[in-house]
A and B are shown apart, each in its own frame.
Chain A
Amino acid sequence: MKPASATVAKHDGGGEDEKFAVGNIYAVKLITGDEFNGIVLAYDSGPNFAIFEEGTKPKPLDSKTLRMVNAKYITEMKNLGNVKDPLAKKTLVNLDGLIDKENQAIRNVEKIGFGVTAEAQRIFDAISKTLPIRWDNKNMLVMGEVIVRSPYHSDCVFGGTRAVNDRVKTVLEQVRKKLQLSDT
């Protein structure tokens, strides 16, 4: 059983590589003033970036706090020991999953209206469960056709065909009722 650090130490390379051997634990200080303790997970001398896992003990694989640090801006590194095999086992990266994750995250951010009231946001969220809706500045755009303007009551619904418009109105009323908002 070869420890990982031994493998890395085999290589040629500057002191950087040895310094950043996988498994070393350091107390790191950055030029921004930020300080943290971390275990070296990866380092590449090309870009001169190191990846630390925050903390002094490895955490479970599904929840680590990683720090990708520009080694150029590390002011101080104090060795706190080292850990064997911070990566306990071989792992996989599911790129498609990550792409989905990213898209989902973007969608979630887009769901948040900018400069709208909390009430408006709640209405938006409630409608978004059943109808496609997105923000258009401070207006809600439902099904690409119907605009709901502030203050987002049934009489603020414009656009679209009669049927769609009525539908949006109904949904809006129900949402308001359910959220126990004022009814006008």
Chain B
Amino acid sequence: MKPVLHSGSSSNGFSHRRVEKETGMNNAQPSADTTENGWEAGSVDTLSHKLLVYFTTCNIGHQVEVHLKNGSVYSGIFHAADVEKDFGIILKMACLMRDSQGTKSRLPLVSKPPSKILIIPADELVQVIAKDLPVSSNNVSDSVQCEKPLELLTDSLISQFYNVDLERELKPWVPDEDGPDCSDLENVFDDPWKRGWNQFEVNKTLFGVTSTFDEELYTTKLERGPGTRELEEQALRIAREIVGENTRDLHVAEERGLQLSGKFDIDEETKYSSVCTANRFDDTGYEDEEEDILLDCCNNLTFGDSSASDGKKPASTGKVYEETWGDSLHLRNINIVDQSWSNSNKHTHQLMSEQPSKDFPVAGNKIRNESQLGEQRKSKFLGASLYSKPSEESVSGLEDAPPSEKPSFTAGRLGLLSDRAKSESSSGWPGSSLSRNSENSAASSASNRPILSPSSSIGSLSSEKSTLNPNAKEFKLNPNAKSFKPSSPSAKSPQSPVPDGSFYYPPVPPMPGLRIRFGMGAAFPGQQHPMMYNNTTQLSPNQTYYSPNSPQYPQQMMVTQQRPVLFMPPTPYQPEMPYKGRDSY
């Protein structure tokens, strides 16, 4: 097929393009009898003609410079060429760059706007220069001017932001001299206890909202009794130990203000980004074999241990504890260690990783999940196992206390940790007791500290843990566990009721025919709320309408326009979660 490119302006713009396309495609397709670079061999005319057409096509859309016989030079966008006949060309938006007299200007002559279409007959045409022309269209698909297709496209480029060079000199910020002095804001990160700010009070003052927040709903309940102070002291001491202990984790060290590895050239990204890839196992003084054992334990737990010797598996579990639990649960580890030492010292020569071995099956199962602590605090297990060593040491402080008194010790201690009691701990609890253990002397003193360390040191390993929950405990019925009973409304009435005024009644727009069903908002314990019953009558939200027929449910109905109100069976069941806030249902 012959490509026909008409140079006349009246030509159908599409026809030659279509033809050109076909020719172009032909060039691209492999055909028989090709040269080594794929061009079709054949008669001279065919091959060279096609080459000519191909390259001419590449020029389309490109800014070209056209030299004419009379010496004038035009610059414009190449539009078409008559490759069939004599190669006349068409330019669009052409400007005269240099006229025949030779006067030259780098920029288009300003006297004339660019011609929309410029037709140049072949006879006048000497040459057409296309600079930096992409001959292959593989990467000419960006919408930006195709100056350099492979150039990195920045946003400024794309948006053609011409003010890129208007750079300001950056100066560090200094506060205004006469600006407001909000010194109160500067101690934002101070201990919130010290600041004297009670958000609940403020809310009550400003908005009249009384909080029903009860921390015991969210964490284990603290048993406050005679031994509270000692518990607090213990907790604080342990907390300090944890915080002060050595760590290999870069981030933890940063938090604690420790200088980890003496490498001062760690860049900010490594320091402060969340993923620490390379820094886990640097040699900051830990024995390698410890690590191996740690890893082994990890693997054992994950993949099961074929050689389930009695020391191995529990040890691995214990280790995994250390890995996967946060600092607050570190205590549990101490529990385990404690018990093991109390019971047997056969393995004292081994690394501390295996010390939890003995008792672990006994103790570990009891304290797997924090969530189960709540159940277990009434049980004696913890207390019993925790204090199974009394025969050997004379422990001070709470160890002296009979186990029965401390059923919830562990839980309590955990709770205390969060309380941040300030009292000093009187006696070292596991540490000192262990050190007193003559049998454990060798291992204990050596590993008193290190017991704490690996747990935190492999905190960074936690990301390697398997998806299996190593803490998951097989279910064992615990008859002493406190069963969950939703409290009845009457039982809850002593709680501070949310005053009526705080409810948010969304305005009920008059919507004829709107049937609104009964709903129950989240529990308003112990209240007999006005019931809103809107069936056919339109009520303002504050009125109540007691239908003589329907029962008076102790529930609050929230009417919204957007969402359907759920119908819940009107039972005395009230979820324990107190209603917070004023969300409309």
Query: Which residues of A pack against B, CB within 8 Å?
Result: 1-4, 7-8, 10-13, 17, 20, 22, 30-32, 34, 41-49, 51, 54, 61-70, 73, 85, 87-95, 97-106, 108-110, 114-115, 122, 125, 129, 178-180
Docked-complex contact A70 and B127, CB < 8 angstroms? yes
User: Do A4 and B36 form a contact, CB below 8 Å, given A31-B69, A62-B139, A91-B136?
Assistant: yes
Docked-complex contact A4 and B126, CB < 8 angstroms? no
User: Do A42 and B20 form a contact, CB below 8 Å, given A68-B59, A91-B28, A105-B145?
Assistant: no
Q: With a CB–CB cut-off of 8 A, which chain B residues contact A65?
A: 129-133
Q: With a CB–CB cut-off of 8 A, which chain A residues contact B39?
A: 4, 7, 87, 90
User: Do A8 and B48 form a contact, CB below 8 Å, given A47-B85, A66-B129, A97-B140?
Assistant: yes
Docked-complex contact A67 and B60, CB < 8 angstroms? no
Smallest CB gap from A65: residue in B:
B131
Docked-complex contact A95 and B24, CB < 8 angstroms? yes
Docked-complex contact A99 and B60, CB < 8 angstroms? yes
Q: With a CB–CB cut-off of 8 A, which chain B residues contact A13?
A: 44
Docked-complex contact B135 and A91, CB < 8 angstroms? yes
Contact pick for B55, options A68, A92, A115, A180, CB 8 Å: A68
In the assembled complex, how far is the CB of residue B19 from the closest CB belonging to chain A, in whole angstroms?
10
Interface pick from B158-166, B356-364, B376-384, B451-459:
B158-166
Q: With a CB–CB cut-off of 8 A, which chain B residues contact A34?
A: 67, 126-127
Docked-complex contact B47 and A32, CB < 8 angstroms? no
Q: With a CB–CB cut-off of 8 A, which chain A residues contact B27?
A: 93
Docked-complex contact B17 and A99, CB < 8 angstroms? yes
* Residues 90-113 of B at the A interface (beta carbon under 8 Å): 92-93, 110, 113
- The verdict on B422 contacting chain A, using a C-beta distance below 8 Å, is no
Docked-complex contact A94 and B140, CB < 8 angstroms? yes
Closest 6 CB pairs of A and B: A102-B61, A101-B61, A42-B51, A90-B38, A94-B137, A11-B44
Docked-complex contact A62 and B160, CB < 8 angstroms? no
Docked-complex contact A70 and B60, CB < 8 angstroms? no
Q: With a CB–CB cut-off of 8 A, which chain A residues contact B49?
A: 44, 46
Q: With a CB–CB cut-off of 8 A, which chain A residues contact B57?
A: 93, 95, 98
Q: With a CB–CB cut-off of 8 A, which chain A residues contact B128?
A: 66-69
| Chain B 537-565 per-residue mask, 1 if CB under 8 angstroms from chain A, else 0 | 00000000000000000000000000000
Docked-complex contact A98 and B87, CB < 8 angstroms? no
Smallest CB gap from B147: residue in A:
A63
Smallest CB gap from A96: residue in B:
B21
User: Do A45 and B17 form a contact, CB below 8 Å, given A62-B150, A93-B137?
Assistant: no
Q: Given A44-B51, A98-B61, 18 more contacts at CB 8 Å? A: A2-B35, A17-B44, A42-B54, A45-B48, A47-B83, A66-B129, A70-B125, A89-B37, A92-B24, A93-B27, A93-B57, A94-B140, A95-B20, A105-B63, A110-B93, A114-B114, A129-B159, A129-B160
Q: List 23 A-B contacts (CB under 8 A).
A: A1-B36, A12-B44, A32-B127, A42-B54, A44-B83, A47-B83, A47-B87, A62-B134, A63-B148, A66-B55, A67-B128, A69-B127, A70-B126, A73-B69, A73-B126, A89-B37, A92-B24, A100-B61, A101-B140, A102-B79, A105-B145, A115-B113, A122-B162
